[in-house]
Structures are given as C-alpha cells and as structure tokens.
Structure 1
Amino acid sequence: MRFRDFHRNVKLRIGLSFLSGTANNMVLPFMSIYFSGKLGDTLAGLVVILGIMAGVVAGIIGGYYSDRFGRKKLMLAAEIGWMFCFALMAVVNSPWFESAGITFLLMIIVSIFWGIHGPANEAMLLDVTAPEERKFMYAIMYWMNNLSFAIAGMAGAFLFKSYLFELFISLSVIGLITGIITYVYIQDDYKAPISGKPSTTKKNSPSIWANYRMVLRDKTFLIFTMASLLLVSVEFHLGNYVAVRLGKEMVDTPFLPWVTDAWQIDGFKMLGFMRTENTVLVVVLSVFMGVLMRRFSDRRVLFIGYACYIAGYSYLAYSNQPGLLLLSMLIATVGELMYVPIKQAYLGNLAPDHARSSYMALYGMVYRGATFLGGLGVILGGMLSSWLMASLIALSGVIGMVMFYTILAQLEERKNGHFAAANSSFMEANKAGLESTS
C-alpha cells in the first residue's frame, strides 16, 4: 500500500488536516493563557468547560445528520463557519479594536463547528477506504498530526503574543482554502440507507434518540469505547497528576544521580523534556515502526504495544529519576506507535456503513472522559502515595486491555463485514423512530 494509492478524498484530507492542524495548534492551545490574562482564571477555565460541552452536543447532533444527509454538506458548513469565526476574532483582536468577551463567545462557536466537522470527516474517510487500507491511513494521520503539533508548538510560542491578529487572519484564510477544496474536490457518494433504501426524508428516518439508542445497543462498540477510555486516560495523567507530582517532588534533582554536582533539573523542565521526547520519537519512528511491525500479526503487535504503553506511563507516575523517566517515556511511546494504527483501524471497521458518523460522534467522548479522569487523578494524587497512584493507573490500563481482548473476535468479524447485531439494533431503532413519529 502506497500513499498515492489512496482515494483522492483521503489524500486531500490528510494534507488539509496537516495545514489546518498546524495553524490551529499555533493559536488554540495558547488561548487559555489569553483568557486568563484578559478575563481571569475562572472565565479561562469556563471557556474550556463550555467548549468541551458544546463540542460534545454538536458532535452528537452532527453525527446524526451526517448519516441522514451525507458528509460533505456538514463538513462544508463547519469549515465556512469557523472561517467566519476566525475572521471575527481577528477583527476583535486587531490593532484598532479589542474585545476578550466577544472572543470568548466565538471560541465556543468554533468548538461547536469542530464538533460538527469531526464525525462527518471521520465517516467520509471510512466511506472511501477498504478495511485493509485503514491501518496505513491512520498511521500516516497519526504521524502528520504529531508533526503539525511539534511545528505549531514552537512557532506559536514565538508568534502568539505579538502576532495574534495576523494568526487569526491566517486561520480564516486557511478556513477559506479548506472550504473551497472541500466544495470543489471532495467527493461524497454516501447515501443514507433507511430500512435498506436510500432516503433522507423525516418520515422515513428514525429520531435522533432512536438513532443513538441503536448505537448504544451495540455491546461490542460499548466495550470498545469503555476500553479505549481507560487506555487513553493512562496517557492523560501525564499532563495532570504526573505534572503536578513532578512539580512538587523534583526540585533541583541531579540529572545523573551518581554525579550530585552535575546538571540539575526540576519537575517542570523534566515534563517539558518528556513531552518533547514523545513528539520527536513519534515523528522520527512512526514510519520505521510501521515497516518493522509488518512481519508480525496485528494481534501480537497490538497487545505488546498496550503492555509497553501501560508500563511506561505507569512508571512515570512513580519515579523521580530523570534517566529512568526518559527511558519510560521511550517505552510508552514505542508502545503507542505499535497500538494506535491497529486500534484506529478496528474502530473504522466497527461501525456499519449507515451509522458511521453516529458511532464516531459517541466515540469522540472517549477523549472528554479521559480528560475528566486525568483531572480526577490530580484529586486522588493529593490523598494517595505515588506508588499507589501508579498502581491505579496501571490497573486502569490493564482492565482496558482485558476488555479489548474479550471483543477481539467480534472486531475481526466486523473487519470482514459481518454486522448482524449492529444492523438488528438499527432496524429496531428505526422501527421505534417511525412509530414515535406516526
């Protein structure tokens, strides 16, 4: 499989995601600092919370309508929407006029448009790829996302404070470019099959509640989602509990413990080194790992990857030795590189054609839930010892891995196109939706 063999939609979306992701990551991660300085810490936290909530609701609604009316319409609407939002942000953060309050509201609206765009974009990629292509596609996307994050992090740190107006203008222009390319070049051949027949009329469509009841009755998907939540939360503790612990416990620690007068490091610098190590390793090793792992079965690579990932991140919750922390991050990152493309490919195969956006919308809650568990880890970390926290993080990952193992046979069936249980649930939900509207 080569990149040029992908469907045109995939190649375009990978390129556009890199372009827009780089631009967004130069601005959006720094907006909390902006709001904290302009509006105070409370409102800075509120914009994050409201943004998450708005994105979740918009994703659920967008997923439903993407499966009813097609992907391209919603993607285009979202891209036009955030183009205008970023243009207005430039206006209210210009040399002539400034309003942090309007920027606050616009950030919430941007979160809504991102929520609408995500499930439709994911489903569109799955519509045009075969199951055997998806592991390679997700490996490339994972690499590109990390590369854009690395580039944007460095550029944003230098440009955000002095060139915010220009950055918002750039985001608006990129939104315009993305919208034009989506409108002109993206193909959307998806047709919404209701009761086996293409239809988009309200009379023949189940309600949004019936639609998501169908998804929630898919036990394989629910277990996959819960397992993913537990596994993703293992990494999210790095920016929460691990960061807080290192900040408190690592104070002028010798980088080489056997040389006490050598270079010393504190917890904040250590966290920065580990994040940089993770990003650099992903960018450098992604292609190499993909080639190396081809000789092994997906099942073996997946669970060895999970084991390395859990062991590495769990040890970060305990140790204060710089060298061992860097080694643990190496092990965790290698594990992540092993399992992510395979797990994402399974996710792509999990959803039946007629409900891909709905499945992707609900799966998107995994990252919101992992954010919550990461915050909960900070609270528990104030009451428990580091070794006990490390044990709980490891236990969370192991439970997720075991849950994943229990549905592996069903995931393989979905890979081969067998969706009997999911289709049965969909038909029941469809019938219920029609009865409720009659």
Structure 2
Amino acid sequence: MRFRDFHSNVQLRIGLSFISGTANNMVLPFMSIYFSGKLGDTLAGMVVILGILAGVVAGIIGGHYSDRFGRKKLMLGAEIGWMICFLLMAAANSPWFESAGLTFVLMILVSMFWGIHGPANEAMLLDVTAPEERKFMYAIMYWMNNLSFAIAGIAGAFLFKSYLFELFLGLAIVGLLSVIITYLFIQDEYQARMAKKNELGSQRSQPSIWSNYRKVLRDKTFMVFTMASLFLVSVEFHLGNYVSVRLGKEMADAPFLPWLTNDWRIDGFKMLGFMRTENTVLVVVLSLFMGIMMRRFPDRKVLFIGYTGYIAGYSYLAYSNQPGLLLLAMFIATVGELMYVPIKQAYLGNLAPDHARSSYMALYGMVYKGATFLGGIGVILGGMLSSWLMALLIAISGIIGMVMFYTILAQLEERKHGHFPAANSSLIDASKSGLESTS
C-alpha cells in the first residue's frame, strides 16, 4: 500500500490536515495565556469549558445531519464558518481595533464548527477506504499531525505574542483554501449513493436525532469500545495534568543523571518540556518505521504489547522523580502508543455501518472530552493521594480499558469483515434488497 494508492479524498484531506494543523497549533495552544492576560484566569478557564460543551453538542447534531444529507455539505458549512470566525478574530486583534471579548465569543464558535466538521470528515474518509487500507491511513495521519504540532509549537512560541493579527489572518486564508479544495475536489461518495437509492425508489424514512443516537447507544460493541478508549486515552492525559503539577512541586533541583550531581541539574518544568519534546520527536521519527516493522506480526499481538508498554510507561511517569528513568519511561510509552494507535483506529473505522458513520464518530469524539475531564480529576486526587497510589490508579484505569477491549476483540474482527448486529444488519439488508428489486 502506497500513499498514491489512496482515494483522492484521502490524499487531499491528509495534506489539508497538515497545513491547517500547523496553522492552528501556532495559535490555539497559546490562547489560554492570551485570555488569562486579557480577561483573567476565570474567563480563560470558561473558554475551555464552553468550547468543549459547544463542540460536543455541535458534533452530535452535525453527525446526525451528515448521515442524512451527506458529508460535503456539513464540511463546507463548517469550513466557511471557521474561516469567517478567524477573519473576525484578525479584525478584533488588529493594529486598529482590539476586543478580547469578541475573540472569546468567536473561539466558542470555532469550537462549534470543529464539532460539526469532525464527524463528517471522519466518515468521509471511511466512505472511500477499504478496511485493509485504514491502518496505513491512520498511521500517516498520526505522523503528520505530530509533525505539524512539532513545527507549529516552535514557530508559535516565537510569533504568537508579536504577530497575532497576522497569524489569525493566516488561519482565515487556510480556511479559504480548505473551502476551495473541499468544494472543487472532494467527492461525496456517501451522498452519491444516497442519490442513487432515491432514484431507484428505495428511500427510507429518516429517523429523528434521538432515535438515531438511541440505536448507536444500543450497539454494545461500540459502547464498550468507546468506554475502553476513554480509560486508555485518559492514561496519557494525566501527563498534562497530574504529572506536570507533581513534577513542578517535587522536582526542584534534581541531577539529570545520578553521577552528575553538580554539573547538570533540572527542575520539574524543564523535565516536562524534555519529555514532551522526546514524545514528539519519537513519533515523527519512528511512526512510519514502526508501521512497516510491525506488519510481520499479528495485529492482536502488536495491539496488546503496545497497550502494555503505553500503560506501564505513563504510570511510571506519575511516580518517579529520576530524570533518566522518566525519559526511559516516556520512550516505552511512546513506542507502545505507536504500536497500538493505527490498529485501534482501524478497528474504529470498521465499527460503524455505512448509514451511520458520522453519528458513530460524533459519539466517539466525546472520548477526548471525557479524558480531559478525568485528567482534571487526577489533579484533584493528586492533592490528596501519594504519587505511588496515583500511579497505581492510572495503571488500573489503563488495565480496565485493555481488558474491556479484549472482551470485544472477536466482535471487532467480525465488523472488519462487514458483519454487524441484527439492528444494523437489517437496515443494510433492506437497503440492498431495495436496490436489487428495483434493478
């Protein structure tokens, strides 16, 4: 499988993801600092909370309507929306006019448009890829996302404070580029299939948004997969929450290596920076290499070895204050993550039936919101519990997720070959029979 073998939709979206991801990461990770300085810590926290809520609600609504009206319309609407928002942000942070309050409101709207765009974009990629292509597709996307984050983090640190107007203007231009490419070149295969069914007289009555998601919630395999992912993803999210707070308090002036007591010392904030840099560099350098190397082994074995390394590495970060061992633990955790992510994402792509992909992706998107919440809970618990107990709780969380994943592995393999539970199968079969009888 090569990149040029992908459908043109996949090639275009991967390229756009890299460009837009680089532009976004030059600005958005620093917005909390911006709002804290302009509006105070309380409102800086509010923009995060309201952004999450807006994204969740918009994603649920957008996922439903993407399955009803097609992917391209929702994607275009969202891209036009955030392009206008970024243009207005540029105006609100220009040399002639400044309004942190307007920027605050526009950031919430951007989160809403991202919530609409995400499920439609994910479903569109799945519409044009076969199950055997998805592991490679997700491996490339994972690598590109981390590369864009690495580039943007360095550039944003130098440009954000002095060139905010120009950065927002750049985001608006990238949004315009996305609109043009989506409108002219993205093919909505799902909408085309819907139109063909309508012409052949097999159109079915569309369910309400509640009945639609009720069916998704009744899919036990998907719900177990989602809960398992929540527990597993939360393991990593503790790095930016409890682990960073603990290192800031406990590691004041530690020797980088035990035998360098007077030469090279480090504090918790620098240690966190080293670990984040190590994680990013390893992902960029090893992603594609790991994908090629792991092809010779069964997916199941790679998946669970990866989970084990990932859980062990991140759990140790919650306990140790030895810089050398922390870097080793981050190496083990990152390699484990590189092993399991493409396989897990490919299983996710096979979970949803064709007629409800956006709805499934919208609900799955809540995993990351939930992991953010659990990361915050970890900070609270960390103030009351010892570091070894926190490490144990993080490890237990990951192990629960891994065991839950193991219990549905057989069903995931069945979905890979197009075998769905009765509720979904009946709808798919009915659609097929409608086409066959008309033809």
TM-score bracket, shorter-length normalisation:
over 0.9
For 1:255-334, list aligned pairs within 5 A: 255-334=256-335
Residue 412 of structure 1 deviates from its aligned partner by: 0.3
Work out the CA distance in 2 between the residues paired with 1:156 and 1:21: 12
* Aligned residue number for residue 95 of structure 1: 95
Aligned residue type for 2:50: L
Deviation string 1:103-129 (CA, Å, 9 cap, x unpaired) is 100000001100000000000000000
Q: Tell whether the 8 Å contact from 1:192 to 1:354 is kept in structure 2 after alignment.
A: no
Q: Tell whether the 8 Å contact from 1:67 to 1:192 is kept in structure 2 after alignment.
A: no
Aligned residue type for 2:324: G
* Aligned residue number for residue 121 of structure 1: 121
Q: Where does structure 1 differ by over 6 angstroms across 4 or more consecutive aligned residues? A: 199-203
Work out the CA distance in 2 between the residues paired with 1:156 and 1:98: 20
* Aligned residue number for residue 44 of structure 2: 44
Aligned residue type for 1:173: I
Deviation string 1:15-59 (CA, Å, 9 cap, x unpaired) is 000000000000011111100000000000000000000000000
TM-score, reference length from structure 1: 0.95
Work out the CA distance in 2 between the residues paired with 1:106 and 1:203: 38
Deviation string 1:65-116 (CA, Å, 9 cap, x unpaired) is 0000000000011111111110000111100000000010000000110000
| Structure 2, unaligned runs of 5 or more | 429-439
* Secondary structure of residue in 1 paired with 2:190: coil
Work out the CA distance in 2 between the residues paired with 1:139 and 1:117: 21
Work out the CA distance in 1 between the residues paired with 2:242 and 2:427: 41
* Aligned residue number for residue 222 of structure 2: 221
Work out the CA distance in 2 between the residues paired with 1:202 and 1:118: 26
CA distance change for structure 1 residues 64 and 198 in 2, over 3 Å: closer, same or farther?
A: farther
Aligned residue type for 1:345: A
Deviation string 1:283-342 (CA, Å, 9 cap, x unpaired) is 000111011101100000000000000000000000000000000000000000000000
Work out the CA distance in 2 between the residues paired with 1:91 and 1:262: 50
* Secondary structure of residue in 1 paired with 2:205: coil
Q: Tell whether the 8 Å contact from 1:246 to 1:268 is kept in structure 2 after alignment.
A: yes
* Aligned residue number for residue 348 of structure 1: 349
Q: Tell whether the 8 Å contact from 1:82 to 1:175 is kept in structure 2 after alignment.
A: yes
Q: Tell whether the 8 Å contact from 2:197 to 2:203 is kept in structure 1 after alignment.
A: no
TM-score, reference length from structure 2: 0.95
For 1:160-199, list aligned pairs within 5 A: 160-191=160-191, 198=198
CA distance change for structure 1 residues 264 and 303 in 2, over 3 Å: closer, same or farther?
A: same
Work out the CA distance in 1 between the residues paired with 2:364 and 2:177: 28
CA distance change for structure 1 residues 425 and 405 in 2, over 3 Å: closer, same or farther?
A: farther
Work out the CA distance in 1 between the residues paired with 2:425 and 2:352: 13
Residue 419 of structure 1 deviates from its aligned partner by: 1.1
* Aligned residue number for residue 231 of structure 2: 230
* Aligned residue number for residue 404 of structure 1: 405
CA distance change for structure 1 residues 425 and 329 in 2, over 3 Å: closer, same or farther?
A: farther
CA distance change for structure 1 residues 236 and 248 in 2, over 3 Å: closer, same or farther?
A: same
* Aligned residue number for residue 17 of structure 2: 17
Residue 424 of structure 1 deviates from its aligned partner by: 5.4
Residues paired across the two proteins, number: 427
Work out the CA distance in 1 between the residues paired with 2:276 and 2:253: 19
Q: Tell whether the 8 Å contact from 1:79 to 1:113 is kept in structure 2 after alignment.
A: yes
Work out the CA distance in 2 between the residues paired with 1:118 and 1:279: 23
Residue 197 of structure 1 deviates from its aligned partner by: 5.3
Aligned residue type for 2:238: H
Work out the CA distance in 2 between the residues paired with 1:75 and 1:414: 27
* Aligned residue number for residue 144 of structure 1: 144
Work out the CA distance in 2 between the residues paired with 1:83 and 1:68: 25
* Aligned residue number for residue 110 of structure 1: 110
Work out the CA distance in 2 between the residues paired with 1:285 and 1:297: 19
Residue 191 of structure 1 deviates from its aligned partner by: 3.8
Aligned residue type for 2:54: A
Aligned residues: percent identity? 84
Aligned residue type for 1:273: F
